[in-house]
Amino acid sequence: MERINNFINGEWLEPVGGTYLDVFEPATGKVYCEAASSGKEDVDLAVQAAKIAFPEWAETSKESRSEILHAIADGIEAELDQLAEYESRDNGKPIWLAHSVDIPRAMTNFRVFADAVMEFKGDTFSSEEFGENTIHLNPLGVVGCISPWNLPLYLFSWKIAPAIVTGNCVIGKPSELTPYTANELGRICKQAGLPDGVLNIIHGEGKFAGAAITEHPDIKAISFTGGTETGKAISKTAAPSFKKLSLELGGKNPNIIFADCDFEKMMETTLRSSFSNQGQICLCGSRILIEKPLFNSFKDEFIQRTKQLEVGDPKRDDSQLSAVVSEAHFNKIMKYIGLAKKEGGTILAGGTPAEINGRCENGWFIQPTIIEGLGVDCRTNQEEIFGPVVSLIPFESEAEAIGMANATDYGLSASIWTDDSEKAQRVAGKIDAGVIWLNCWMVRDLRTPFGGMKQSGLGREGGVEALRFFTEAKNVCIK
Ligand code: TXE
């Protein structure tokens, strides 16, 4: 069986402990390869390599670093078809989705930061009284990038690109559920001329490999995307060594739909924001708040269109949804559907596994599910389900919608649907979320700050925010 090893100092090394984890294809439920199960010793080796590579990489001009990032993007672009197939096999998402979203976005991540770094420099302040102040933005050294399984290469590269382009050396850890394209990225980086030791990729479980990264005294910062509970554990571990932290965590995002919206555009977008990637995107809207006069017509149309969604083999172009990432995650989502019923909710569509015949008969597929009849305070409407499950909630007034939207511990994103632009801006101003879309969803200019409030995270990624995160300001004053 194929084995994925750690990528350390430009070489593929077996884990020191010699053990491997099974990697499953979610669409079939079968193991198709193994990935290194790493621990502290492997992380130590990677940090040693990164520390040796750092001085030269930090001194490399930003023009040269930017060129290498563009070469990495070219490498991803050249292998788009193959990478999309790998991503789909690893994660369960349709190949067409990985081909149109995940892999192109990974390529764009490298291009955007390759360009952004060219404009990135510290301020200068000069005055008679306080002299000439020049702010240097220096790389931190060795940094850790820990990413999840829902958008594997997309989120891994979203962290790695700004880290290396600012002159840091990286210890990256993809999710143990989806290690495959991260491993391919190591090869593509090497081919693109990234010096050995600048990017090191460690595979393995969070509690061993991930914890060894967050604990390591020579790692200066951690950029993490994943669950809120994991984010809390990482904060605790990282605090005593004063590591910089960027945490992108969960969400329970509201879609606020007013009766005066463009119904067709809203409906088409709400279907996507509910069920794209099987609902496994932190930005998916899982609480759909609908103004009462529109509630019944929204509900009827939404049910009808949801029932028409095709759930099937990720290899098929007509599969709109495919498998969820793992058996454990399948069970978690099904448990939440059971909980919704116990809490008094009515299942309007879905609510069951999807039976797929043939190659995928043992895969982890769930029908897109709509729940109605639950108040905002119940667990179904408070906890992140992270699957193809949404809840419909009616509201009477703007104030009530805002109250409901803010009534969770999360604050990642929201979308607001209305033709009244003043109302849209007014409501946006009152929603506790880091990312707000008016009459659209998932429109992302990568130069804008991205991240959440409350338990959805700490700090912002994207554009200059990411470049600042991976650098440290030093003010040099002369008078
Ligand atoms: O993610 P984890 P899980 C949410 C979603 C999901 C829940 C749990 O609700 O159901 O989180 O998912 C690494 N120290 N999101 O358990 O564990 C782990 O190996 C250091 C939201 O699969 O957070 C992986 O690389 N690292 C989300 C990464 O953390 C640790 C995306 C994410 O895994 C670690 C994914 C530790 N102690 C899940 N424990 C989003 N915000 O997009 C785990 N890891």
What residues flank ligand 1, with Cβ below 6 Å? Answer: 146-150, 173, 175-176, 205-207, 210-211, 214, 225-227, 230, 233-234, 248-250, 282, 332, 384, 386
A 10 A CB-CB count for 461 gives: 22
Mean pLDDT of 443-464: 96
- Region 314-325: what's the mean pLDDT? 98
The count of domains in the chain is 2
Mean pLDDT of 44-51: 98
Confidence grade of residue 261 (pLDDT, cut at 50, 70, 90):
very high
Task: Give mean pLDDT, residues 340-360.
Answer: 97
Which residues constitute the domain of residue 398?
253-446
- The protein residue whose alpha carbon is closest to atom 24 in ligand 1 is 175
pLDDT tens digits, one per residue of 268-277: 999 999 999 9
In angstroms, rounded to a whole number, what is the distance separating the alpha carbons of residues 171 and 221? 10
* Banded model confidence at residue 335, pLDDT cuts 50, 70, 90: very high
451 belongs to a structural domain:
no
CATH number where 290 lies = 3.40.309.10
Query: Could you tell me the distance, in angstroms and rounded to a whole number, from the CA of residue 386 to the centre of ligand 1?
Result: 12
Give the closest residue (by CA) to ligand 1 atom 39.
Answer: 206
DSSP assignment of 409-425:
SEESEEEEE-S-HHHHH
Predicted local distance difference test score (pLDDT) of residue 64: 98
Q: Which of 230, 366, 409, 450 to mutate to test the pocket of ligand 1 (most atoms within 8 A of CB)?
A: 230
In the predicted model, what is the mean pLDDT of residues 345-364? Answer: 97
Segment 74-94 shows an average pLDDT of 98
Asked whether residue 126 is assigned to any structural domain, the reply reads yes
Question: Quick one: pLDDT at residue 321?
Answer: 98
pLDDT over 70 percentage in the chain: 100
Residue 16 lies in a domain: yes
Same domain for 316 and 260, yes or no, is: yes
What was the pLDDT predicted at 339?
98
Identify whether 417 is part of a domain: yes
How far does the centroid of ligand 1 lie from the alpha carbon of residue 463, in Å? 24
Q: Which residues contact 157 (CB under 8 A, 6 or more apart)?
A: 76, 106, 109, 110, 185
> Are 200 and 138 contained in the same domain?
yes
Is 248 among the residues known to form the active site?
yes
pLDDT at 204: 98
- pTM for the predicted model, two decimal places: 0.97
Rg (CA), the chain: 23
**Ligand 1: residue whose CA is nearest its atom 15:** 227
Q: Which residue has the tokens 């402990």?
A: 17
Band of pLDDT at residue 127, cut at 50, 70 and 90? very high
pLDDT on residue 136 = 97
CATH of the domain at 58: 3.40.605.10
Strand partners, 137: 473
Task: Determine the residue type at 80.
Answer: L
pLDDT of residue 300: 98
Nearest residue by C-alpha to atom 16 in ligand 1: 227
Q: Are residues 386 and 469 in the same domain?
A: no
HEC string for 45-111: HHHHHHHHHHHHHHHCCHHHHHHHHHHHHHHHHHCHHHHHHHHHHHHCCCHHHHHHHHHHHHHHHHH
What is the predicted pLDDT for the residue at 181? 98
Task: Tell me what the pLDDT averaged over the chain comes to.
Answer: 98
